[in-house]
Structure 1
């Protein structure tokens, strides 16, 4: 390469170093011109002082700062595996190092010792891909000892995401009490129910009940007992012998029972005990189901969004067309309830199995329902309200997947078509909607324990065709229609204060919008802005209180039902 200026010509050979270093490596292999020998245990490695100083920070500091070793021919190195040192000296000449299951840990330790951060990070990436519930705790400990913070953080996220599987491992049972406490107190554990945290604690204590039972009160204080059902508290927790024989444990049990028996005292309870855990690192694929074409026709189409690559693609279609469809996810299976096929309201229900990539039919609801809300809670599916073609509904049905049957529950206090329905704080919440005459701001919640609906604080804006989701112990609603305006406002409900407050609005008006939580954020999908059906999607970051657009749907124009299937 040549660069000309007025009085000179500068020649630069860009491949000089890539050609020169292999020659230096060959000179070392022949044992020529070497001026230093590194000794570790009973092995010795000859090298060139200038090459080591230029490529390895540890030796740069040693050889350029007038340390005693800077003038020694033989240098003893301690605290590094001989095989790792040899591989990393070779790396200094070639820029290459081979990682495998047998050497990766010694290489990570050696790279940390020699301050080769890029090699250390490559080892960390290698280990991340080999995380397993049976080894992740050990890898986290190893990474922490060697100061590899990125690997520690990745291991902790894995432990949170796969807590149930990790808690069954031998490594978990061999943790210290302090280490178990550090895990079970986390807000970020991904659990279907707090039962899984209680059972994990009891497994750890029972591994050595004699010496570990003294730690149970301390551990049980981090289990969110008020989130357990009254039946589980009575039938499982209260009969546990280690709980019965501890005053502190019985006090915690009584506190949880009071939470259910005396709702008026809930504000007095420590907030973390009643706050559902929410694992922000769990990533799921978002399925958009049914909905409408630009011309308003119903669809059987399904598409799926992968947030890791910000891409929508087609998925397996349902067996029938469904707009204004209810959607819920339970046990990693996606259910589609009722809807409108273009000429009739439907009672049929179908379920998508992501493993088989196929839809199947289950028992039909007892009532035809479009514009229906649906939610999953404690191994049951709930559908609330909707429209049967004649009137808005206040009826509620519950599906038992083990029996493949539907039963009616207590009616809602309002007839709610196009309302929002969501599981939150161990209850089913029904929000907004309309009865054919009025649009509501009211909110009510159903307790599976009492079988009753009770009113909670109303939204600040009346809404039908709204989106609703839960995130970080709060309830969010977005968009909808208030009878005169297509809405872009967003509200957040705090169960501790029983109050709603506005947060950042959507970027566009969205009626018939779907809202889901995923990866610690909210995703508002599709809708209608008063002129057009929408394919656009925007995401809410609660830490920034801001919405931003991501890739639009590829096959839908609003009116979709949406569910998230975790990608474990």
Structure 2
């Protein structure tokens, strides 16, 4: 009987107490608190902290290397910790026993320094997250400098991005006024600054100079070279910049102001300007709202309807309608204002233009184009609105013209190589992208890209769908092809192009629109 029973039982049983390691650390922490069995003392200045080598080696990589690699300190009863804050060291020793550390505004920097020294990456990451979540216009410059010193790449990038997004508010802070010269030069030369107008960059620089006028006045010409003065309004150049005492007293500064005024008065001199001076700043880290303007309803009638898409919430809602119904309309955004250009009202092609202000939710008229156009490509380059190609009611066009919002005038520009209408056009960096359209005999899915540097066009991977009357918009480094007509039906579908993967992906479709829709993107202001 006994022999039979033994044969039915296994010879090996695994018994475990899962919480034993955790309970063991609790007991060891209590033993340490009582000052028992401690075999090492860590000293910082006049402060001494007793601990157990085995616990320190098990929990802190720095001590693991010290106690297991025959370093001199492994045999010492007392180890001097150079350059550490005593309270931070005590907190990190406690962390080795209980896995908990309290982070606040007073200790976060000393804890991060100590965690970095002791190679406690998880604590270092927690400190970085603490600082990242509390970025503010008054502290982001200091946090960025601290992150750079501590080689915290993610925190540095976050602080730098926050600085760009909140530049105007940051420029009013004491930290900004205390920046070194090279830091200000680098900052005001950055494309990524989130400003509604270049005038805000000028005011920031002037405030920095006046904060220590005696030492900084001589730096003004070098700083003004970084400011894109041609993008300032002519009235601002005359009434504010030119009249400033420091500018009036400096010959080099006056020359820079004259150069900017010539940009507005003598267009023929513009090609001689450095390209960056007329390049609009664009903070690509800010997600934009996408505006759908005009288009067609299911009966084929032109609409004056406007709706806006929030890509974060993934929903659409309506805005104030335009004054004129427009399908196949060109749309562009300059200085936070959205322009609806040309199009078709159901009877004729239009040359008229109106502009939308999202702050007042209202539309106003501006100067008309030189030509009637619908289904043209519309982009913004160097602060000017370019319209290319389109259809005038008789034939497809290859002509191009651009609008100067400072003077409210349209000017002719060099024509395209090929005639094309009902296509989408957008700009990413120094490249203009064109996708889809109608070539007179067929509906296109093909796309191409133009480099303003080389002046050359090249082919791009085709979209997933043939799209005439398609709108193309760029935001956050991506392209969105919205709506269109594939030769059989109007489209509400949306595709996104990622230049990194060279691939088009379908996104959420529109709700109200079907084909012939214009699209623009106004950046969301950061919270």
Task: Give TM-score scaled by structure 2 length.
Answer: 0.86
Structure 1: gaps of 5 or more residues: 1-5, 319-334, 337-347, 350-364
The aligned counterpart of 1:332 is: none
Corresponding residue for residue 351 of structure 2? 394
Contact 1:160 / 1:188 at 8 angstroms: preserved in 2?
A: yes
Return closer, same or farther for 1:404/1:561 CA change in 2, 3 Å cut-off: closer
Q: Does 1:548 align with 2:509?
A: no
SS at match of 2:495: strand
Pair 1:304-2:261 in alignment: no
Cα offset for 1:127? 0.8
Alignment partner, residue 5 of structure 2: none
Matches within 5 A, 1:14-29: 16-29=20-33
> Contact between 2:147 and 2:155, CA under 8 Å: does it hold in 1?
yes
Aligned with 1:386: secondary structure? Answer: strand
1:16–1:443 CA distance, 2 compared to 1 (3 A): farther
Q: Distance between the aligned counterparts of 1:398 and 1:149, measured in 2?
A: 42
Farther-moved stretch of structure 1 (449-458 vs 511-520): 449-458
The residue that corresponds to 1:211 in the other structure is 215
Instruction: Please tell me whether the aligned partners of residues 277 and 472 of structure 1 are also in contact (alpha carbons under 8 angstroms).
Output: no
SS in 1 for 2:396: coil
CA shift for structure 1 position 535:
4.2
Match of 2:391 in 1: 434
Task: Select 2:274's aligned residue among 270, 274, 297.
Answer: 270
* CA separation of 1:233 and 1:557: change in aligned 2, threshold 3 A: closer
- What CA distance in whole angstroms lies between the structure 1 residues aligned with 2:157 and 2:478? 20
Alignment equivalent of 1:419, drawn from 373, 376, 385: 376
Moved more, 456-465 or 101-110: 456-465
Whole-Å separation in 1 of the counterparts to 2:366 and 2:294: 26
Cα distance 1:16–1:191, how it changes in 2: closer, same or farther (>3 A)?
Answer: same
1:557–1:546 distance in 2 versus 1, CA, 3 Å: farther
With over 3 angstroms needed to count, the CA separation of the structure-2 counterparts of 1:395 and 1:80, relative to structure 1, is same
Aligned to 2:185: 181
1:166 positional shift: 0.9
Structure-2 separation of matches of 1:174 and 1:84: 29
Which stretch of structure 1 is more off in the superposition, 176-185 or 65-74? 65-74
How far apart, CA to CA, are the structure 2 residues paired with 1:206 and 1:136? 22
Aligned equivalents of 2:432, 2:235: Cα separation in 1: 26
**2:85–2:114: 8 Å Cα contact kept in structure 1?**
yes
Kept in 2, the 8 Å contact 1:244–1:250? The answer is yes
Question: 5+ unaligned residues in a row in structure 2: which ranges?
Answer: 1-9
Residues 217-257 of structure 1: CA distance to partner in whole angstroms, max 9, x if unpaired?
22112112232233332222222221222233233333333
Match of 1:477 among 415, 434, 446: 434
Partners of 2:277 and 2:293 in 1: CA distance: 36
Output one character per residue of 1:370-405: Cα deviation in whole Å (capped at 9) or x when no partner.
433333435765432222322111233457888977
Distance in 2 separating the partners of 1:396 and 1:286: 19
Work out the CA distance in 1 between the residues paired with 2:293 and 2:126. 40
Distance 1:92 1:215, change over 3 A: same
**Of 38, 42, 66, which aligns to 2:70?**
66
- In 1, are the aligned partners of 2:294 and 2:325 still within 8 Å (CA)? no
Equivalent position to 1:95, from 92, 99, 106: 99
- Aligned pair in 2 of structure 1 residues 505, 241: CA closer, same or farther (>3 Å)? farther
Which structure 2 residues correspond to residues 243-392 of structure 1 after superposition, within 5 A? 243-286=247-290, 304-306=309-311, 312-313=314-315, 315-316=316-317, 318=318, 348-349=321-322, 365=323, 367-378=324-335, 382-392=339-349
Query: Cα deviation per residue 1:259-315 (whole Å; 9 max; x = unaligned)?
Result: 4444444343333223222222122344557766888799979573435xxx733x4
Residues 75-90 of structure 1: pairs in structure 2 closer than 5 A: 75-90=79-94
Q: Distance in 2 between matches of 1:405 and 1:557?
A: 20
Displacement of 1:416 in angstroms is 0.8
User: How far did residue 407 of structure 1 move?
Assistant: 4.1
Q: Matched residues in 2 for 1:144 and 1:487: separation?
A: 49
Whole-Å Cα distance in 2 between the matches of residues 303 and 253 of structure 1? 39
User: Are residue 38 (structure 1) and residue 54 (structure 2) matched?
Assistant: no
Q: What is the deviation of 1:123? A: 0.9
Q: Deviations over 1:427-468 (max 9, x none)?
A: 222233212221223221122345442222333443333323
C-alpha RMSD of the superposition: 3.3
- CA distance in 2 between partners of 1:116 and 1:10 (Å): 34
Partner SS state of residue 509, structure 2? coil
| Cα distance change, pair 13–292 in 1 and its aligned pair in 2 (3 A) | farther
Structure 1 residues 91 and 490, CA gap change in structure 2 (3 angstroms) = same
SS of 1:441's equivalent in the other structure is strand
Counterpart Cα distance in 2 of 1:193 and 1:499: 31
Matched-pair contact (CA < 8 Å) for 2:57–2:65: yes
1:50/1:215 CA distance change after superposition, 3 Å: same
Structure 2 CA distance for partners of 1:182 and 1:451, relative to 1, 3 Å = closer
TM norm structure 1:
0.80
Query: The residue matched to 2:398 in structure 1 has which SS?
Result: coil
Cα distance change, pair 379–393 in 1 and its aligned pair in 2 (3 A): same
CA pair 287-255 structure 1, distance change in 2 beyond 3 A: closer
